[in-house]
Structure 1
Amino acid sequence: MAATVDRRNEKVAFTLMGLVVGMTGLAFASVPLYQLFCQVTGYGGTTQVASEAPKGLIDRQMTVRFDSNVDGALAWRVTPSRPVTGQVGGLETVTYRATNLTDKPITGMAVFNVTPEAAGYYFNKMECFCFTEQTLAPGETVDMPIVFFVDPEIDENHDLDTVREITLSYTFYASDKEGS
């Protein structure tokens, strides 16, 4: 009888240990899994990454506005591009201009957001400076390009029929890297 109880206790102990290991693994995987979820669904205004341009234009105009915010710890001035209006499916190239306002090199990076959030799924970037650290020399000014298009499949989402304007917003932060 004692041997049976010991086996059951061992089984419970191994099951609980497996549960702890599994939960710890999920905790570490939660951030990459959430990022993957956002990229696949466009949740939270997450844009898509495209390797090729769409295969055609549709008869719908879209204006894309650009916004920039700079964290107080980053001594940069960032000027967004002017709005562009074009046919959905058309490939567009715009630039943000960043200037280091100090007398030392500073490294920064940007994160983005699209509004309305549901349009993020249809906003495709082929080239972007986001999530790439940029080091600017003292007083240096650089143009940072974005090549993008709005996927013509947006027309199939009737919840977005009235959307004629999308805003792409970047927030720039100082990097933890040396030189910041």
Structure 2
Amino acid sequence: MIKKKSLTPLVLIGIFVFMLGLSYAAVPLYDLFCRVTGFGGTTQISNNAPKVVLNKVVSVRFDTNVNNLPWEFKAKSNVIDVKVGQVNKIEFEVENYSGEPTAGVASFNVSPASFGKYYSKLGCFCFEKQELKAGEKATYVMTFYLDPEMVNDPSVKNLEDVTMSYTFFSTDYYKQS
């Protein structure tokens, strides 16, 4: 029979191992939660376009920012009106105005945050390292649609405009972490 004195350290070790396992699982579980629910403006990634296009139109605004990079970054159109369910493409222009090669990674979010689960990307340059030579210009394309299921959600069905915000960060920013 195990004595109480030897059971307590075993219980504490078990709790420690369990908490350690939870800490490793937290990031992927949080990422999964955000992708499923659209929490925090997390958009969806899709492989297929919807089969239905609705007459409902939503204005999508594009906000562009640069953090710690000598780049100019802007959307070719600041606002586009899109039909819910229709596949759309938006082009972004980027220019490295420094005298040396630089690299960046774009992250994004959508506002209002509750709309994130209905903003689906078919193709995007985000979260991929983009390198530009000194003075080089590039055009990046994002292909997206607004999920027709949004009309069944009372929290977003009456939205008439949303904002998609992109920020390019220097890849050196990620090395600091």
Report the TM-score, using the length of structure 2 for normalisation: 0.92
Is 1:106 the counterpart of 2:98? The answer is: no
Equivalent in the alignment of 1:79: 74
Given candidates 122, 126, 131, the residue that maps to 2:118 is 122
Distance apart, 1:9 and its partner CA: 2.3
Distance apart, 1:93 and its partner CA: 0.6
SS in 2 for 1:143: strand
Is 1:31 the counterpart of 2:33? The answer is: no
Distance apart, 1:57 and its partner CA: 0.6
Distance apart, 1:150 and its partner CA: 0.0
Is 1:56 the counterpart of 2:47? The answer is: no
SS in 1 for 2:151: helix
Equivalent residue letter for 2:72:
R
Is 1:22 the counterpart of 2:18? The answer is: yes
Q: C-alpha deviations, 1:20-55, integer Å up to 9, x for none?
A: 111112112212211111111000100000000001
Higher Cα Rg, which structure? 1
SS in 1 for 2:22: helix
Give me the whole-angstrom Cα distance separating, in 1, the residues matched to 2:5 and 2:104: 54
Give me the whole-angstrom Cα distance separating, in 2, the residues matched to 1:117 and 1:21: 35
Equivalent residue letter for 1:112:
F
Q: Which stretch has the larger CA shift, 48-57 or 11-20?
A: 11-20
Distance apart, 1:161 and its partner CA: 2.7
Q: Which runs of 5+ in 2 are unaligned?
A: none
CA contact under 8 A between 1:68 and 1:171: conserved in structure 2?
yes
Q: Which runs of 5+ in 1 are unaligned?
A: none
Give me the whole-angstrom Cα distance separating, in 2, the residues matched to 1:107 and 1:22: 39
Give me the whole-angstrom Cα distance separating, in 2, the residues matched to 1:25 and 1:48: 27
Report the TM-score, using the length of structure 1 for normalisation: 0.91
Give me the whole-angstrom Cα distance separating, in 2, the residues matched to 1:37 and 1:158: 21
SS in 2 for 1:158: coil
Overall identity of the aligned pairs, in %? 37
Equivalent in the alignment of 2:161: 165
- The within-5 A match list for 1:136-155 is 136-155=132-151
How many equivalent pairs are there? 173
SS in 1 for 2:3: helix
Distance apart, 1:130 and its partner CA: 0.8
Q: C-alpha deviations, 1:92-145, integer Å up to 9, x for none?
A: 011111111111110100110101111111000010111101011111111111
CA contact under 8 A between 1:66 and 1:81: conserved in structure 2?
no
Give me the whole-angstrom Cα distance separating, in 1, the residues matched to 2:170 and 2:150: 35
Equivalent residue letter for 1:42:
G
